[in-house]
Amino acid sequence: MQGREARLPKCKKMCQTLGTVQDAGRRAVRFSGREGDMDSWGVPPGMSGGLKWRVGLSILLGIGWLSFVLIWLLFFADGFSIYRNLAILFLSLLLTGAVLTATWLSYGMRMAEYSSPECTEWMGLRSMRLCMIATLLLWGAWAGLVIGWLYLVADAMSGYQNIAVLLISFLLAAGVSTAIWMYATQ
């Protein structure tokens, strides 16, 4: 912990330097001190290829998810209750979100480490990866439980009971998530 505190003043200055935008009116955001290392879009060399396929995948996933929802609602939804339809739509949204999160999280972490490695170390980004994973697993488990509840149990309950179960489970998950991050940032 002492090493981290010793780098704090140096890193604060570096973060302020790297974080100032030189020309806010331009399309490409360039950070002072690193301008020569960026291409015209503000992307470090060697990372634009990773950006291109991620953008393409994001567009394809968005179109694919919307197509699935429309096809599901037009042709298959009549055979299921409203709660089961919600579970299936929520599951499709969860899967799409999981793929997009995995795709963009790795890119964002590499960009943060490239643009200001000392600041990411100061902010505890490297040590917070475990907290990010724990949070993703927690909310993934919550979403799985909600999907299971909607598909298997919700038909037997009233709408108000289902809302109460969803709110209680959400508040519990939010409390655990808050505790994880409070512990991580101490």
Q: How many CA atoms lie within 13 A of 3 on its CB side?
A: 3
Q: Is the pTM of this model over 0.95?
A: no
What does the pLDDT read at residue 149?
96
SS3 label, residue 158: coil
Q: At 2, is the pLDDT very low, low, confident or very high (cuts 50, 70, 90)?
A: low
Say which residue the tokens 């699935």 belong to. 68
Q: How many CA atoms lie within 13 A of 174 on its CB side?
A: 6
Beta-carbon contacts of 68 under 8 Å, excluding residues fewer than 6 positions away, are: 92
Beta carbons within 10 angstroms of residue 83's beta carbon: 19
What does the pLDDT read at residue 29?
42
Q: How many CA atoms lie within 13 A of 120 on its CB side?
A: 15
What does the pLDDT read at residue 67?
97
pLDDT at 43 over 70: no
Are 117 and 44 in contact, with CB atoms under 8 Å apart? no
Beta-carbon contacts of 32 under 8 Å, excluding residues fewer than 6 positions away, are: 17, 18, 20, 22
Q: In the structure encoding, which two tokens stand for residue 118, read together?
A: 């000392």
What does the pLDDT read at residue 154?
96
Beta-carbon contacts of 118 under 8 Å, excluding residues fewer than 6 positions away, are: 7, 10, 11, 14
Q: What is the pLDDT of residues 114-132, one digit of tens each?
A: 666 666 565 566 667 788 8
Q: At 105, is the pLDDT very low, low, confident or very high (cuts 50, 70, 90)?
A: confident
